[in-house]
Amino acid sequence: MDINTKKIKKNAYRVTKVRGKTALRIRVPGGHLDVKYFDIIKEVAEKYGDGSVHMTIRQGFELPGIDFDKIPEINRMIAPIIQGLELDYGVSIDDIEGGYPAAGTRNVSACIGNNVCPFANYNTTDLAIKIEKAIFPNDRHVKIACTGCPNDCIKAHMQDFGIIGQVEPIYEASRCVGCEACVKNCKKRVTGALRMENYKVKREEDRCLGCGECILKCPTGAWRRNPEKYYRVVIMGRTGKKNPRLAETFLEWVDEETIIKIITNTYTFIEEYIDKEAPLGKEHIGYIVDRAGYHVFKEYALKDVVLGPKAQVANHIDFGGYKYERNIYFTK
């Protein structure tokens, strides 16, 4: 059997532990899809795979047990999925019958967001799709997820870019009866950014996460939503065999346009700073930032970005996590 593994990997198939068998990953940008695509997934799994499908952590579908020589046929079969879940979203792919043209930049995942969840501060699927359009196809290894609020159900903190919805609560003092529901709740469940003063509520802006819980709790509508959408961007979270860590806040109170711009700018940064000797030409973005330094990354990421008046940029990031390698500072 003569297989160009580099080529099939780029095509979203992989080398599996079973000799001669591959598995296909279907992308579902924003984690939401019309059920009509299940029919195709089912057909491919039954006809070419082992009749099963694995739901990946990134909200894709992985179809195992496929023979390598069936790849071209399968790619033709999944064309409607690529049409509906990529081209229709504005992603450009030249050969729709040729399967996915890249797999490095992973599926942009999303929590269920404001289609369903009361906590959500925006439509996470829609934003994920916009990001997909801006960055796919791309071979660079980048992981992005959108989550509606700081509950972070999609685990944005485990991504290279985690987008967390923020809302600015607007207070109308004359509607406030002083019931303290918002104050008690913010203290118990969030940061304690609110306090009572003379029967009215004061919000400490610096401590406010923009989660929107106060708006949800207020029985009189004294807290209202600023319809403007804001986002916190956390960066360079990761798992892996060296230094797993949670992402840290890079930006807060920024808009959608800024997010798209900093992510696309990051690809330029990668091209410039990636380790040219890295095994298989692959280096994870977080390690590139570690090597080049946050300030260099920041300069690239913010190039030509016009930040809004509320936007905040981290001066410095002290990444945490831990290192598996114990002898990192001293060698015996």
Partner 1 sequence: MSLKLSREAFDDVLKDLGKEYKIYAPIRIKGEGRFSDTDVVRYGEVSGLDEIEIHEKAHFSPKEILFPITQTLFYFTEGEYQEPKYDEKKIIVFLRPCDINGVTRLDQVFLENGEDKDIYYERLREKVKFFMIECIEGFDNCFCVSMDANKTEKYAAAIRFGDDMLVEIKDEALINAFQEKGEFVNFEPTFIQENLVNVKLPDIEQITTETFEDDMWKEYAQRCIACGRCNFVCMTCSCWTMQDIAYDENNSSGERRRAWAGCHVDGFTDMAGGHGFRKNYGDRMRFKTMHKINDFKKRNGYHMCVGCGRCDDVCPEYISFSSCINKVTKLVGEERK
Contacts of 271 (CB under 8 A, 6+ apart): none
List the one residue out of 142, 147, 152 whose CA is nearest residue 110: 147
**Tokens standing for residue 178:** 């002083």
Nearest CA among 268, 59, 253 for reference residue 159: 59
3-state helix, strand, coil in the chain (%, to 5): 35, 20, 45
The Cα–Cα gap between 158 and 144 comes to 9
List the single partner that 216 binds among ligand SF4, partner 1, none, CB under 5 to 8 Å by kind.
Answer: partner 1
3-state secondary structure at position 70: helix
Residue nearest to ligand SF4 (CB): 148
Name the residue with tokens 């491919």. 44
Count of residues touching partner 1 (by CB under 8 A): 33
Q: Which does 191 bind (CB under 5 to 8 A by kind): ligand SF4, partner 1, none?
A: ligand SF4
The reply to whether 187 sits near partner 1 by the rule CB under 8 A is: no
Question: Is residue 30 near partner 1 by the rule CB under 8 A?
Answer: no
The span of 2-10, 156-164, 169-177, 244-252 binding partner 1 (CB under 8 A) equals: 169-177
Roughly how many angstroms between the first and final C-alpha of the chain, as a whole number? 46
- Which x/- pattern, by CB under 8 A, does the window 116-145 give for partner 1? --x-xxxx----------------------
> Taking the complex as a whole, how short is the minimal distance between the CB of residue 202 and ligand SF4, in angstroms?
10
Contact between 132 and 91 (Cβ < 8 Å): yes
Span near ligand SF4 by CB under 6 A; candidates 42-50, 76-84, 116-124, 135-143: 116-124
Taking CB under 6 A as the rule, does residue 193 contact ligand SF4?
A: yes
Asked if 151 touches ligand SF4 (CB under 6 A), the answer is yes
Answer yes or no whether residue 181 interacts with partner 1 by CB under 8 A: yes
- Binding partner selected for residue 166 from ligand SF4, partner 1, none, CB under the kind-specific 5 to 8 Å limit: none
* Strand 223-225 versus strand 109-110 pairing type: unpaired
In our burial notation (b when 16+ CB lie closer than 10 A, e otherwise), range 232-244 reads bbbbbbbeeebbe
**x/- string (CB under 6 A) for ligand SF4, residues 205-244?**
---xxxxxxx--xx-x-xx---------------------
Residues forming contacts to ligand SF4 in the complex (CB under 6 A) are 111-113, 117, 119-120, 147-149, 151-153, 169, 176-182, 186, 190-191, 193-194, 201, 203, 208-214, 217-218, 220, 222-223
